[in-house]
Structure 1
Amino acid sequence: MGKNAAHPTNAQIPERPELKALWRDTKRTWTLIIAILGLLTLALSLKAWDEHQAAERAFLSRLDAEAKMLAERVSARADAADVVLRLVGQNELSKSEAASIAKGLDALVSLRDAAQSPPGSRLGDAAAAARTLPEGDSGLVLTVHGDLVAVSALPERPALIALSPITSTFSKPENARLTLRSPDATFSFGGAHLSSAAELAPLAGAAIQSGPDVLRAGTACAPIGESAVTVCITIARPLFAAADLARLAIFFLLLLAPALALFGLTRRLSKREAEALEQAAHNTESDRILGLVMRGAQAGYWEWSHTTNTIFFSDGASEFLGLGRTGLVSLDDLLSRAPVEAHERIREAFNKARTIGWIQLSFPVSVPGGRWIEMRGSLSDDPNTGEPVFGGIMLDVTERKQAEDRVRAAERRLRDAIEGFAGPFALWDARKRLLFWNRAFALDFGLQDTLRAGMGHDTMQIARAGAVLVERQSKEDSRTTLIALRSGRWLKMVERPTPDGGLLTVGVDVTENIRNEEELKKQQEKMKRTALDLQRSEGKASELSRKYSEEKAKAEHAAFTKSAFLANMSHELRTPLNAIIGFSEIMMNELAGPLGHASYKEYSRDILMSGQHLLDMINDILDMAKIEAGKMTITTQAIDPSDPVDAALRMIRRKAEEKEIDLVLDTAQNLPDIDADHRAIRQMVLNLVSNAIKFTDRGGKITVRVEQRGPEIYFGVTDTGIGIPAEDISRLGQPFEQVSKTKDRNTDGTGLGLALTKSFAEMHGGRLTLSSIYGEGTTVAFYLPIGGPGSLGQQVVSRDVA
């Protein structure tokens, strides 16, 4: 059929009958061809529109799933923060321990303290946001500063809040924008060009909007748990993506193929050629649909011929492996993309697949940034060749592996913390089956070879009977039990239910308390016997009562006289001493003009040093008197243990330099915060370093060491001085006790430095130790518990200086 016959006019229609018949046949043929092409065009257009809508729905589905995943991530962190807050609120965990366990929390304070912060500050706004919750409710709120605030309301206890910046929970997205919002606050970051589209985010679900900044944008939102906070993610969505253009091109080809087939049928195309063309079109459509499915699922597919040991990877799978191409590769090529330590496991999985007929394998891939992939597949027959081949999909499981690693790391930190606990600890599920226990639990009850996961609570009670001598229940709390072990130790066992219906068992060593109680009972019995003896002798009792009254009056008068003397000395001595020190310092520095003679300046320096020495002695005596009277108090707070030590050394370094003594500070790295009084620690270090300087020869060395030793912080001062004779060590640490003068050394002082240091350490729940080799040097150290006074679970018994 020629070109001129394509669209003839009426003037071109021949008048001959045979030509008219030919024209009618030609016209009918062209009409049929055009109708077929029109219907095919309409069908393919509808198909293209349907696939475009399917792609939109798939995009929104992925976006919605990602928003829900982000919401679940925040919800999980909020649940973890709530658990930490409850443990802190129940005094089962200190704030410093909570900060080391729960990473990402910037602050952990009570709601009452946060409410005292100025408006506009992070804590002030966090308190205001927390008060939007109903009173007595726990939950999660958002501030305009971008902080997620976890609120934990405990019965009969002040509410606690924890702040976690959003940027510590989510990394800043490059091609998307994250928005968290609540009824009172909204915070967005990432993807600045998507700001206007993010404002159109729905309350929940996913939708595509049009905005002035981008042509189109997809937004999905999901609520965070049961809170009023919603997390939204917005990603730009062009009107026609590259996949849409490729799809249109494929549809054009699919439209062109039948047209060519129709034209070819009229020009001697054989039936076999038409079938081959149709099969090619079918294969192209199948590949296209499979590619769409794989891209939508963020996956790729692969085929492995175990006869030739070659693997075919699709575009998506090749992208995961960083191959940059598709087609057949060898197993060795695949191994080259994985770390060496994974090669044997990959080979074993492929070799085992020949026998079992399926394969499931995950391994890391050496690509920029790192990636974990998972290959799944089974054995089937190739429809073309009939040969058996393995086929399956390849998934990117990097985020899942990272989440699993984070969970394992958190579990490991928690296990380490529990294992470091000195007392027995055990966790049971809702059916009272053993889930976890620490080493102390097994050792205390002699169950090293008996305990196993899943062991019943009643079975454990029977198994531990051999190690228990006495067991009695507390009258105040039915879930608290005192246990006497055959080893001679006493344990206070407390069992508390967990929120999920399980059971928590914790034990504390109270041996010393029980011994003190027994000793107290003995003393009381002794006093009763003494009282009975006194009652038998009325004359003696009357005489003793009279003497007791006289001695009591004398003691009260002496205490009053001592207090009056100390108060008078505080006023009468400190006031002139301050004047002496101040005027001598003015004279020494010649602030009012030159003194006229160099000797006067030396005299004024002597006056200043003597006045300061006398004032230090008076302050030591007054502090010791306050401690003995029980009026000295300390104010503990979370501090860096190296701060007060560094401050003390800066104050006394000049004194060391005057004697040419090398003063060295050795501080361990990553020390935890300690609940202690900053001023008291500084004073203790000053006392010990001052003593070390006093008894160290010129050119010597003093080392101040700060490090963690178990649940305590060690503060030690080691000098290369004259040392202390063994017979004098037992007297040190008592008020006004000093070592005898040796080597004609002038060591004037009150002898209160060590006594004050020991008292301050005991007020913190710590202890003082002293060791010395006469003629070589001395080490004086004090230990303070990290959690503050009473944090070790029992009363600390201070050791004598020895």
Structure 2
Amino acid sequence: MSKSAIPSETDAVASGVPERDNRRLKWTVVAIILLLAGALGLKAWEERQTADATLLAGLEANSRTISASLAGHAGTAEMAMRLTSDAGASRSAVASATPGVDVVMSLEDARTAPDDSRLAAAVPVAEAMLASGDRIGLSRQGDLIVATASPDDAIILALAPTGTWLPASKAGTGIFVTDTHFSAGRMLPGTGGMRPATGFRSLGLFSRAATGCAPVGGSALLVCSSQSTPLFTLDDLVRLLIFGLLLAAPLLVILGLMNRLSAAAEIPFVEPVEEVESDRFMSPVMLGVRAGYWEWSDDSSAVYLSDAASELLGMLGDGEITIDEMLPQVHPEHQQRVQAAFRKGYKEGWVQTSFVTSFQPARWMELRGSVTTNPDTGANVYGGVVLDITERKQAEDRVKAAERRLRTAIEGFNGPFALWDNRKRLLYWNRAFATDFLLDETLRPGMAHHTVNIARAGALRSEHPSLEDPQTTLLELNTERWIKLVERSTLDGGLISVGVDVTENVRNEEELKKQKAKMHKTALDLERSEGRERELSRKYSEEKAKAEHAAHTKSAFLANMSHELRTPLNAINGFSEILSNELYGPLGDQRYKGYAQDILTSGQHLLDMINDILDMAKIEAGKMTIDPQPIDPVDPVDAAVRMIRRKAEDKEIAVTLDTQPHLPEIDADHRAIRQMVLNLVSNAIKFTDAGGKITVTVEQRGPEIYVGVTDTGIGIPAEDLPRLATPFEQVSGTKDRNYEGTGLGLALTKSFAEMHGGRMILSSIEGEGTTVAFTLPISGARELVDESNARDVA
């Protein structure tokens, strides 16, 4: 071995320096890689935490919306129970009138229910609610419970299945209600087992569930929204791939540098590495809670929309869009509102508005956000969320509709009504309260109860507190009306004032007192003098005789006025008919012809009524006579039907004449029978609607001829049948009072039938039709008239 082949100490030292530098460089590279990997891991963890926080915030926002809707349903049920209980309605009516409620009963009745029933499960919850002052509770069988007090201080419970007041859940999501009174720690009972109040729980090796809760106002309930998510989402995998590439790029650079340094250690080389930052996207979970993210800078006209925000506005994909391009997605009536919100946000630093989308199905959206300053550019950046608030709006609309119905009912109440809070401050009053007490210019919300009582004193004449009920007062107004004012406490410590007009009752009571006093005085007078009683009896007989004479004189006068009343009417009818038919040439203006026709129609109607009245007067005065002659009974009936058929056809009513063949002749007055049939058919037409049917029947029944008129009209109540054959009587209180007439048709028919020796028959079914008939003896009418004339001569 030569000397030159043995390394010297100087060479060893020279070779050791690069080796130490290489080792130092390697450890430095390893440290850099570990630091970079740790930084990327922390970045991934931060983004995952941010996504989880966004998801939980969306779930909590959804829970708050559902909580407000649930409280609104409970408030509607409570108000309905109070008002219907005050009005005395049945509990089944309250349950059917309140959306979602299927059971309404008292707490005492619930305590008697079977142990395993829904009502028994509601009892301990209701008792706990009363002890803690809660408005809403939840039973272990899943029923929502609303409690209120009735006017008799009984506790009324309303039960509604939880699902009826909660929105439907989508796939992968869940909504449930829990009661903190029956929870342990932070774990709350709900469908599917124990769930955390707000946070995440594991569903298995590769999935987990997020739960966000919100309290229900006035109760110990929580409304929770949950959503299942995979442990590793596609976004997580993409994020890991990006971070792997970010880690691999400097690693490859460093390895390349190390290779170069190992080949030429004397050449220092530093390769600058540029950091790459990925854009952040809102989590797809925002789609599940119907919310999205937006961002806008005041130095730009473009608005950045996330995927969820873009989908809520009816567009696809995230990205920037100008405000003018976004406006077509807003309903035309709300576009100016959105523009004004952005202009106002530019000045005040915050944006908040709501609008309806222009595409179908239309949805309500709420856009809100605030301003931050970009430290790099100094520009103001507005960031916020877009929320779908359609369900909240619908719940608010339902509550407002219920309030409008209640207000309408209260305003329609003709008595005074006022509502006071627990400090006896005025909250609401109807128009009758202000009008009756002359407080139109005085009342305002917040007035004290005693102040209103002082102010109403000017409208009162007297005030009488009830001895039986200290909360009831009888008020006499200056308008001579009497109001019974009742005041009752509400469950929340407020007060309700309701007044009822009892003027008629007070007057009747006063009149009764006067009548009793008068009767007592009369009795005393009768006891003092029997002679006065005889004198009163004699005066009564004289007055009765005078009245009978006056009635007879009246009937005789009407009978004698036949010619004087009919003659001018015949002239009026004749001349008006000439004018209406224009027999001597046109009248000129068509209105004259119409007026002439109106005069003719009115005159004919007046003549018919006068004829009926005069005929009835003649009958009562005994001056009406008939002239019986042998006639075919069908002949006058057929004549009457032909005369009135046109009137029935004008009203689209079918008239049928049904006669029995080979009827015997009878002794009867042709005109009287025709008049009777005309009266009956005219009445049938009057009370039969278009499309109805009238049947006129003529047949022999034993020794009599039966003539009947049957219609399909409105019918007559059974209680009104006995009095219809009385002169001037008509059925009142029903739709038939809308028809003209004197009420003499049936009375005349009955009188004419009895003058022939027959009778009138009346039967009816309300709503189905009426049959009015009369009978005529086949023989003997002439003998009846001769016998009547003989009695008159005698």
* 2:488 alignment partner, SS class: strand
Distance apart, 1:506 and its partner CA: 1.4
Residues 42-53 of structure 1 aligned to structure 2 (within 5 Å): 42-46=38-42, 48-49=44-45, 52=48
Residues 748-787 of structure 1 aligned to structure 2 (within 5 Å): 748=761
Greater shift, 477-486 or 263-272, is seen at 263-272
Distance apart, 1:256 and its partner CA: 4.2
Greater shift, 489-498 or 738-747, is seen at 738-747
* 2:280 alignment partner, SS class: helix
Distance apart, 1:367 and its partner CA: 4.7
Name the residue aligned to 1:28.
Answer: 24
Residues 176-195 of structure 1 aligned to structure 2 (within 5 Å): 176-178=173-175
Distance apart, 1:161 and its partner CA: 4.5
Q: Does 1:200 align with 2:184?
A: no
8 Å CA contact 1:209–1:218 kept in 2: the answer is no
Q: Does 1:317 align with 2:330?
A: no
Name the residue aligned to 1:511.
Answer: 503
Greater shift, 375-384 or 469-478, is seen at 375-384
Max radius of gyration: which structure? 2
Name the residue aligned to 1:529.
Answer: 521
Name the residue aligned to 1:255.
Answer: 247
Q: Following the alignment from structure 2 to structure 1, what is the Cα–Cα distance between the partners of residues 463 and 192?
A: 65
Name the residue aligned to 1:244.
Answer: 236
8 Å CA contact 2:310–2:316 kept in 1: the answer is yes
Distance apart, 1:419 and its partner CA: 1.4
Distance apart, 1:338 and its partner CA: 0.5
Distance apart, 1:500 and its partner CA: 3.1
Q: Following the alignment from structure 1 to structure 2, what is the Cα–Cα distance between the partners of residues 353 and 181?
A: 39
Q: Following the alignment from structure 1 to structure 2, what is the Cα–Cα distance between the partners of residues 479 and 440?
A: 20
Name the residue aligned to 2:671.
Answer: none
Distance apart, 1:412 and its partner CA: 1.8
- Choose which of 741, 750, 767 in structure 2 pairs with 1:741: 750
Distance apart, 1:490 and its partner CA: 1.1
Q: Does 1:303 align with 2:282?
A: no
Q: Does 1:393 align with 2:384?
A: yes
8 Å CA contact 1:425–1:440 kept in 2: the answer is yes
- Choose which of 148, 151, 158 in structure 2 pairs with 1:162: 158
8 Å CA contact 1:101–1:413 kept in 2: the answer is no
Q: Following the alignment from structure 1 to structure 2, what is the Cα–Cα distance between the partners of residues 68 and 257?
A: 46
Per-residue CA deviations over 1:336-363 (Å, capped at 9, x if unaligned) read 1111111222333344455555543322
Name the residue aligned to 2:742.
Answer: 725
Q: Does 1:85 align with 2:81?
A: yes
TM-score normalised by the chain length of structure 2: 0.57
Name the residue aligned to 1:698.
Answer: none
8 Å CA contact 1:310–1:329 kept in 2: the answer is yes
Per-residue CA deviations over 1:375-406 (Å, capped at 9, x if unaligned) read 445666654545x5452313315144344333
* 1:216 alignment partner, SS class: strand
AA of the residue aligned to 1:413 = R
AA of the residue aligned to 1:741 = K
Q: Does 1:210 align with 2:203?
A: yes
Name the residue aligned to 1:343.
Answer: 335
Name the residue aligned to 2:474.
Answer: 482
Distance apart, 1:304 and its partner CA: 4.0
Distance apart, 1:41 and its partner CA: 1.9
Distance apart, 1:38 and its partner CA: 1.8
8 Å CA contact 1:140–1:150 kept in 2: the answer is yes
8 Å CA contact 2:200–2:211 kept in 1: the answer is yes
Q: Which runs of 5+ in 2 are unaligned?
A: 1-10, 131-135, 183-188, 261-266, 534-659, 661-691, 698-708, 726-731, 768-794
- Choose which of 390, 406, 418 in structure 2 pairs with 1:426: 418
Residues 456-471 of structure 1 aligned to structure 2 (within 5 Å): 456-471=448-463
* 2:761 alignment partner, SS class: coil
For residues 78 and 726 of structure 1, do their structure 2 counterparts lie closer, same or farther at Cα, with a shift above 3 Å needed? same
Distance apart, 1:72 and its partner CA: 6.2
Name the residue aligned to 2:783.
Answer: none
AA of the residue aligned to 2:355 = F
Distance apart, 1:457 and its partner CA: 3.3
Distance apart, 1:423 and its partner CA: 1.2
Per-residue CA deviations over 1:163-204 (Å, capped at 9, x if unaligned) read 434443123212224456899x9xxxxxxxxxx995332486
Q: Following the alignment from structure 2 to structure 1, what is the Cα–Cα distance between the partners of residues 44 and 108?
A: 61
Q: Following the alignment from structure 2 to structure 1, what is the Cα–Cα distance between the partners of residues 72 and 83?
A: 17
Distance apart, 1:516 and its partner CA: 1.3
Per-residue CA deviations over 1:554-582 (Å, capped at 9, x if unaligned) read xxxxxxxxxxxxxxxxxxxxxxxxxxxxx
CA RMSD in angstroms comes to 5.5
Distance apart, 1:57 and its partner CA: 6.2
Distance apart, 1:438 and its partner CA: 1.4
Per-residue CA deviations over 1:685-708 (Å, capped at 9, x if unaligned) read 8749999999xxxxxxxxxxxxxx
For residues 70 and 349 of structure 1, do their structure 2 counterparts lie closer, same or farther at Cα, with a shift above 3 Å needed? closer
8 Å CA contact 1:58–1:296 kept in 2: the answer is no
For residues 301 and 263 of structure 1, do their structure 2 counterparts lie closer, same or farther at Cα, with a shift above 3 Å needed? farther
Residues 53-132 of structure 1 aligned to structure 2 (within 5 Å): 55-56=51-52, 59=55, 63=59, 70=66, 73-74=69-70, 76-93=72-89, 98=94, 102-108=98-104, 125-130=117-122
8 Å CA contact 1:689–1:717 kept in 2: the answer is no
AA of the residue aligned to 1:748 = I
For residues 155 and 95 of structure 1, do their structure 2 counterparts lie closer, same or farther at Cα, with a shift above 3 Å needed? closer
Name the residue aligned to 1:407.
Answer: 399
- The alignment covers a number of residue pairs equal to 561
8 Å CA contact 1:480–1:495 kept in 2: the answer is yes
Distance apart, 1:485 and its partner CA: 1.8
For residues 412 and 514 of structure 1, do their structure 2 counterparts lie closer, same or farther at Cα, with a shift above 3 Å needed? same
Residues 417-456 of structure 1 aligned to structure 2 (within 5 Å): 417-456=409-448
TM-score normalised by the chain length of structure 1: 0.56
8 Å CA contact 2:694–2:712 kept in 1: the answer is no
Q: Following the alignment from structure 1 to structure 2, what is the Cα–Cα distance between the partners of residues 46 and 438?
A: 65
Per-residue CA deviations over 1:700-751 (Å, capped at 9, x if unaligned) read xxxxxxxxxxxxxx99555999x7634799xxxxxxxx89638869753599
Greater shift, 347-356 or 433-442, is seen at 347-356
Q: Following the alignment from structure 2 to structure 1, what is the Cα–Cα distance between the partners of residues 408 and 12?
A: 104
* 1:288 alignment partner, SS class: coil
Q: Following the alignment from structure 2 to structure 1, what is the Cα–Cα distance between the partners of residues 159 and 749?
A: 57
8 Å CA contact 1:208–1:218 kept in 2: the answer is yes
Name the residue aligned to 1:330.
Answer: 322
For residues 739 and 473 of structure 1, do their structure 2 counterparts lie closer, same or farther at Cα, with a shift above 3 Å needed? farther
Q: Following the alignment from structure 1 to structure 2, what is the Cα–Cα distance between the partners of residues 433 and 692?
A: 58
Name the residue aligned to 2:782.
Answer: none
Greater shift, 236-245 or 200-209, is seen at 200-209
AA of the residue aligned to 2:247 = L
Name the residue aligned to 1:625.
Answer: none
AA of the residue aligned to 2:761 = D
Per-residue CA deviations over 1:86-120 (Å, capped at 9, x if unaligned) read 44445455558745753233354567889999x99
